[in-house]
Structure 1
Amino acid sequence: MKSRKEVLKRTVLMRLTLQIVLFSLLYAVLLYILDQWFNGRILDAMDLLVGRLVSVYLLKKMLIAGVYLFGIILLCIRTVTRYLEYIDQITTSIDAILKPEIPVAEFPPELKDVEITLKDIRYSITHNAQLAREAEQRKNDLVVYLAHDLKTPLTSVIGYLSLLHEGPELPENQRIKYTAIALDKAYRLEQLINEFFDITRFNLQTVALDCTQLDLSVMLLQMAEEFYPAFAEKNLEAQTEIESGLRLTGDADKLARVFDNLLRNVVSYSDPGTPVRISAKQQNGRILVKIRNHCEEIPPEKASRIFDKFFRLDVSRNTHSGGSGLGLSIAKQIVQLHGGTIQLNSTPAFTEFTVTLPVTPEEKAIS
């Protein structure tokens, strides 16, 4: 829309033009009458004068038009130059996206959206590159861990079977002992292989839940009883505070595996002679299960990775004391498959796992 000032200016110019035209017509009529009075001599003289005036007028108009044209050309050049500078800045910033050491250029206010978009693209590329490096590292770790965790029990099985094969004169009690150890290591090897298959199936999201109505209160109390020998071996005191009648729809076998993995972890890392507290209650339509034990505080950088595949708190990867590092990862994915969450909170006073499950499983992607 034109401003009021522009409209007023245009109106004044139109009125002035109209007045000039009317004045010119009156002047022409008057001049014609006078010319007729003086037998045409006035018009002859005026014709010469007007011709000169018209020449001056046209020259003036041409000069004014030239000035306007020159200004328009300068404005166009300035505009094109500015946009070329913008394009150069954008090109430089695009080149800098893949080079973290080069900052993204600061753009003028009219191109702030472009600057924000380029910075977002740079962050996305950098973040994805970091994720790719981490995935590559996890893949390399997987190969190393597989080699280590499978080789250890396999070596034991081969060693004890070789002793039995090469020493037929061994006493019966020794043969029974070596056979039992070899069988135990073979079972351990089978367990590791099953865990590797399970984690692969979870990654491919080919696991289906066999859901039924189950009483989680009964399951937790039963598991606490089953772990009594393991608790007693480390002089751990099991304390239960479980609401009765905690019913939900879920896969009983897989949920039992979740709490079995958590309790095994608690037994492995609890300080001897300390209590283990298992509590469960319903809250806001969800069931909240907490397993608390007392052990050395887990540093935040390790606590944040506790559910990662193959992550172990001990760097030695002693599979006899701490498992393969897959149990907690499998537990997390089973809980997520039910639409729940699992968290770890570690303080100097205690370490606590918290599992939250919906009464009815929800569709939720595994992360």
Structure 2
Amino acid sequence: MKKFRKTNSDYTKLNRITFFRGLGIMLGAVSAVLLLRAMTRGHLADTIVLWITRIFSLNEDQADMIYFKAVTANMQFILGIVIIIFVFLLFYMLLYSYKRYFDEVLSGIDKLMEDGDAISLSPELETVERKLNYAKQTLKTQADEARKTERQKNELVVYLAHDIKTPLTSVIGYLSLLDENPDMPDDKKIKYIHTAWEKANRLRILVNEFFEITRNHSEPISLQKVKIDLYYMLVQISEELYPQLSACKKRIENNVGEDISVYGDSEKLARVFNNILKNAIAYSEDESVISVFAEEFPEKTVIRFENRGEIPGDKLGLIFDKFYRLSSARQSETGGSGLGLAIARDIVTLHGGRIKAESSNGLTSFVIELPSIREELTMAP
């Protein structure tokens, strides 16, 4: 399981502003205390007593007594009240400031799903602003990807619906001819039956692809790993693909050593190799050879599928996307649902490996890297 590392956030500006605001109030409190202390003695006290004598027309002794009873005798109480006031101001300032910051953050959160400009907060909330904008960009990217996938899926459903209608119409048409003409010559009857069988088989493939779409979205992939003889697995898959290969005069050249093995789910990996070889059959040059190589390294086993034919550079990065098909696929009887390579990537990734495609100089290669069987057996429980 992937462990998420806790990252430290930089709140230097916020800390600095909060510190100086608190320091200002504390200095104000100290100044007020010192001022009150100065009122009990020295020139300031004499000046206040003088004001009292003039305002109330009292003599100096009377004014001094009033000042003593009102100020000097109650100085501790006055100091306490002043300190409480400044503490209250300190907490109020902090609460007001952070309430304003929380309001800004909540406003920024409300804008996460909105299109438009980047989220802007106070300079001291720069770290929060940066993370909110990152989250907004991530959500936008995910939403765009979801819309893209949904659009591709909808397009695929339309394509498959059209492709299903075509062979179904042909099957019904040929069977109707056979039903309406029981005395049809045997050679023509055999031809119509064979054509109807081909169209029905194509229809079966397309219906299976519909089920493939549903299963790919609803079922999690689990692995049952065993030791797999890679050479003989590829021999078996090549034999199963013989009808497709024979139809376009292509062949698979197995250059994998008989001593090379991999550790994984045999059914799932066979599906990966089958999907890649079907893709190579569909898009390679006519009457060409599809070559398969494998090489073992201390930490991984590399399997390479090569065929003549080139994938355009602008499409090379899209072929592993779900529901993606090269444009020529719709016009081909071998055109699939666009899930084959996406499923292959998911299975390889689940095995702890990776898959990539390379295409240049008229040659296309699919390269699969799987953890070596020694590495897998060492890590296995």
Q: Same fold (TM over 0.5)?
A: yes
Aligned equivalents of 2:108, 2:342: Cα separation in 1: 41
CA drift at 1:186: 1.4
User: Greater CA deviation, 191-200 or 350-359?
Assistant: 191-200
Residues 329 and 335, structure 2, Cα contact 8 Å, conserved in 1: no
Q: Residue type matched to 1:203 in 2? A: H
Please, which of 183, 196, 203 is the counterpart of residue 210 of structure 2?
A: 196
Determine whether 1:329 maps to 2:342. Answer: yes
Q: More displaced, 86-95 or 223-232? A: 223-232
Partner secondary structure for residue 214 of structure 1: strand
Residue 305, structure 1, aligned to residue 354, structure 2: no
Cα offset, 1:251, TM superposition: 4.1
Show CA shifts across 1:43-102 (max 9, x none): xxxxx644434556789989x98xx89x96998897777567545644543443333323
Describe the shift of the 1:125–1:208 C-alpha distance in structure 2 as closer, same or farther (beyond 3 A): closer
Q: Which residue of structure 2 aligns with residue 119 of structure 1? A: 133
Q: Which residue of 2 aligns with 1:103?
A: 118
Matched length: 320
Given the superposition, is the C-alpha separation of residues 208 and 186 from structure 1 closer, same or farther in structure 2, using an over 3 Å criterion? farther
Task: Work out the CA distance in 2 between the residues paired with 1:54 and 1:315.
Answer: 107
Distance 1:297 1:159, change over 3 A: same
Tell me, in whole angstroms, the C-alpha distance in 2 between the residues paired with 1:139 and 1:271: 28
Query: Matched residue of 1:271: which SS?
Result: coil
Matches within 5 A, 1:57-68: none
Query: SS at 1:317's partner residue?
Result: helix
Alpha-carbon distance in structure 1 between the residues aligned to 2:344 and 2:92: 67
Whole-Å separation in 2 of the counterparts to 1:167 and 1:117: 74
Q: Which residue of 2 aligns with 1:292?
A: 306
Q: Specify the SS of the correspondent of 2:129.
A: helix
For 2:16, the equivalent position in structure 1 comes to none
The amino acid across from 2:114 in the alignment is K
Q: Tell me, in whole angstroms, the C-alpha distance in 2 between the residues paired with 1:342 and 1:161.
A: 45
Which stretch shifts more, 111-120 or 162-171? 111-120
For residue 361 of structure 1, report the CA deviation from its aligned partner.
Answer: 9.0
1:268-323 CA distances to partner (integer Å, 9 max, x unpaired)? 212346553321011233321101223233233x2233133432102561240433
Report percent identity of matched pairs.
Answer: 37
Q: Give 1:224 deviation, angstroms.
A: 5.1
Instruction: Work out whether residues 297 and 348 of structure 1, in 8 Å CA contact, stay in contact via their aligned partners in 2.
Output: no
C-alpha RMSD of matched pairs (Å): 4.4
* SS of residue in 1 equivalent to 2:290: strand
Task: Choose from 63, 67, 70 the match for 1:52.
Answer: 63
Alignment check: 8 A CA contact 2:105 2:121 kept: no
1:181 aligns with 2:195: yes
So what's the TM-score if we normalise by structure 2? Answer: 0.66
Partner residue of 2:154 out of 133, 137, 140: 140
Which residue in the other structure is 1:35 paired with?
A: none
- TM-aligned CA deviation for residue 184 of structure 1: 1.7
Post-superposition CA distance 1:136-162 (Å, at most 9, x none): 324423431331232222122112112
* Distance in 2 of aligned mates of 1:196 and 1:361: 37
The Cα of 1:107 is off from its aligned counterpart by 1.7
Distance 1:127 1:334, change over 3 A: closer
Structure 2 letter corresponding to 1:322: G
Give structure 1 stretches of 5+ with no counterpart: 21-47
Question: Deviations for 1:172-223, whole angstroms, at most 9, x for unmatched residues?
Answer: 1111011011112212222222333244334322565565433102333555
5+ residue gaps, structure 2, are: 1-22, 42-58
2:262 to 248, 252, 258: 248
Query: How far apart, in 2, do the equivalents of 1:120 and 1:58 lie?
Result: 65
Give the aligned residue type for 1:307.
Answer: F
Partners of 1:362 and 1:195 in 2: how far apart? Answer: 38
Residues 1:172 and 1:281: Cα distance change in structure 2 (over 3 Å): same
